[in-house]
Amino acid sequence: MGRQKERIIVGMSGGVDSAVSAALLIEQGYDVIGVMLQLWRDSGTNGKSPEYHDTINEHIRDLKLITQQLGIPLEIVNARDAFLRRVVEPFVCGYEQGITPNPCLTCNPQLKFDRLLEEARFWGASKIATGHYARIRPNENGSVSLYKGRDPHKDQSYVLAMIPQAMLQKVVLPLGEYTKDEVREYARRQGIQVAGKSESQDLCFIAEGNYREFLRSRGIRNNQPGPIRLSSGEIIGEHSGLPDYTIGQRKGIGIAWAEPLYVIAKDIGTNSLIVGIRSELGGTSITVRNVNWISGSPPDNTLRVEVKIRYKAEPAPALVIPAGYDRADVRLDHPLDDITPGQGAVFYQGDMVIGGGIIAGSV
């Protein structure tokens, strides 16, 4: 009698990345179970439009075709309430507090990976897998390290930087050594139905892709017009509502000035949008909170790193100074213009992710 296959749960969405991840794991000899997490999604400003239903039905239809083709079971798990509570409501709350949150940074550890691990325990699986483009490598001491994906254009290590060590040890990322073109080509060779399917949108829960309209529909509190001020305090115009703006924004301020104006701060107390010229923007020091150190504990000393302050930002050289278990100060070698509270600051040494947290402020 042959050895029983190791069971693994694959988070699947109906897209090509998760489909190829499942196919690769089957090739590697795993007993694969596909799991789709049904997440809460905005139905649009006019109620549940036909497009809303069509998109949901399309994902489920594609996923059923994929799992039937691969010959694996599919479980569809209702995670709407948890997603609304853990991801969507904090996203709205963040804008009410004047920050610009990145919901993926909290969604992955607090909802998606957490729920997939619940399914793994239920089905007796030892690991979970997703279609993220990043790499996990074991260390001699039993821990694991997180690295950028091989494809620099698709690398998703930034959005995984908040995954704690204990959770990361149970994760498999089959696409880390592949480029997106190679994944699509593999899917075509295997005849996988969704080989040419387009990418999903960044904010998966906003049906019409307009976060401003979404925030209004959720009844966000600080969405009233107010003064636009220079840093000197002079009022030079009126804004449409603080959630409509983000730090570093230039277009859409709507004020003619001798030099281009940028959003440099939001004053929630006075409902003021603070603008200034480019030289007033940004800083060389960042305070980071809720830091997750991939190793499981903060380093003993300061570290030379490259830091990314947005998913698509270029890494910038910096010094990271741990400040307790889950806080850090980042001293940049050169000023950055668009340091935005609520976004993630992720620390790298080469391709290795050292850790990451949420930007609290900058000077």
User: Is-catalytic flag, 93?
Assistant: no
CATH code 3.90.1150.10 for 222-280: no
- Per-residue model confidence (pLDDT) at position 337: 86
- Per-residue model confidence (pLDDT) at position 210: 78
The ranges assigned to domains in the chain are 7-131+174-190, 222-280, 283-362
% of the chain residues with pLDDT over 70: 93
Where is 289: in which H helix or E strand?
strand 283-293
- Per-residue model confidence (pLDDT) at position 221: 80
- Per-residue model confidence (pLDDT) at position 55: 61
What Cα–Cα distance (Å) separates residue 44 from each residue in 41, 107, 200?
9, 21, 17
Tens digits of per-residue pLDDT, 192-201? 877 777 766 5
Closest Cα to residue 311, out of 133, 96, 136, 79? 133
Tens digits of per-residue pLDDT, 82-101? 999 999 999 999 999 989 99
Residue 52 has pLDDT above 60, yes or no: no
Question: Both tokens of residue 228?
Answer: 């636009």
- Per-residue model confidence (pLDDT) at position 44: 61
- Per-residue model confidence (pLDDT) at position 178: 98
Residues 6+ apart with CB under 8 A from 90: 101, 103, 106
- Per-residue model confidence (pLDDT) at position 6: 96
Residue 139 has pLDDT above 50, yes or no: yes
Residue 186 has pLDDT above 80, yes or no: yes
- Per-residue model confidence (pLDDT) at position 212: 83
Of 195, 204, 277, 352, the active-site residue reads: 204
- Of the ranges 42-56, 164-178, 266-280, the best mean pLDDT one: 164-178
Backbone phi and psi for residue 104, each to the nearest 5 degrees, phi listed first: -65, -30
Of 88, 107, 172, 339, the active-site residue reads: 107
Report the top-level CATH class of 283-362. Answer: mainly beta
Question: Both tokens of residue 130?
Answer: 């997703």
Question: What is the pLDDT averaged over residues 276-283?
Answer: 89
Mean pLDDT score across all residues of the chain: 91
Residue 279 has pLDDT above 80, yes or no: yes
Residues 360/309, Cβ–Cβ less than 8 Å = no
User: Is-catalytic flag, 107?
Assistant: yes
Tens digits of per-residue pLDDT, 28-48? 999 999 999 999 988 764 444
Q: To 10 degrees, the CA torsion angle through 290, 294, 296, 297?
A: -70
Tens digits of per-residue pLDDT, 54-93? 566 777 888 999 999 999 999 999 999 999 999 999 999 9
Pick among 3.40.605.10, 1.10.3470.10, 3.20.20.120, 3.40.50.620: CATH of 7-131+174-190: 3.40.50.620
